Structure 1
Amino acid sequence: MKFFPAASGFAIAMVLSTALPAHANAPAESRQQIERIVEKFRVAVVNKDKDSFMKLFLREDITWVASFDDASLERIMARRTDKSLPRPKKIFGGSPREFIEDIAKSAGPLEETFDNVRIDADTDVAQVWFDYSFKAGNYRENWGKEAWHLVRTDDGWKIASVIWSMKLNPEPPPSAGIK
């Protein structure tokens, strides 16, 4: 093993700190508060709790945009019985309220799961990036990458924008073939 003089130890620490995952750079208190926001989002979806869900956002009219992958758009077109309908748009939007209201209307259990959550923050702004899966019961409807921007307000951290990619499950839900 090579010995590194103390003067180069600082340089090594600087290189290693830039190689750490983004969440390692967030102040501990900010990271913990943001992790709680992520969990509150998940729980509000599971519980179909519109009020708790909406309290997570800076405003109702934040950026709320998804992008379908090309294969999913092709599957949508292939499944259509009316081929004269226009191709669905690659990008679509909405709002947090529309999302949670659709969730609340659903008869069955729904859940959005988050994996590989990365948080980069200081004490006032943050970004969260993760892999998500959206499930209806045991059926994985869609998945992709999701990114949030957050700001710290007088009332705590609030989500200021949500964007995500969307890959639709190529397999229809198990009940789709049952009549």
Structure 2
Amino acid sequence: MAKFYTEIHPSLQEFIKDQKIFFTATAPEQGRINLSPKGIDTFRCIDSQTVAYLDLTGSGNETAAHLIENGRITIMFCSFSEQPMILRLYGQGRVIHPRDQEWQTVSPLFESLPGKRQIIMIAVESVQTSCGYGVPIYELKEERKMIIDWATKKGEQGIKDYWQAKNLKSIDGLPTQLLDD
């Protein structure tokens, strides 16, 4: 049975720490819904109603564009271990760029990874747990490091060139403000 909470209780924060993958979902007012898997150790619980994740450079930048437009975001964690559970965090998100003053305060919570693009900060409005009985049991073999290797090989200027070519607008044409000053 689904249960709703107004905050992320300590036991749920521990559950989040143990997960190796999470999913983000956002949508513009008009256009395509975005659902993205995220890995690597990039998610943090700031407090019982605030979470953030370090967003690495990817093929698109849908989350940022959608958050700029309407702020809505859902984060989902699934347990793939013997103890089933699905955890969803519903909230309002915003983007913090390296040029923003707040970056200096928030970025130290994360490992400095090549290709870091922005931090997604979320004010959690509602927390939902559900059984997860239909989710299969999987074991993590290893983290994929391809995104780290790719970003390292591109270098800082190569990443900025990639952002210019691929990350300034969503697939529906919404601005991401990635390189705005």
Indicate whether the TM-score tops 0.5: no
TM-score, structure 1 normalization: 0.29
Higher helix share: 1
* Structure with the greater alpha carbon radius of gyration: 1
Structure of greater relative contact order (alpha carbons < 8 Å, 6+ residues apart): 2
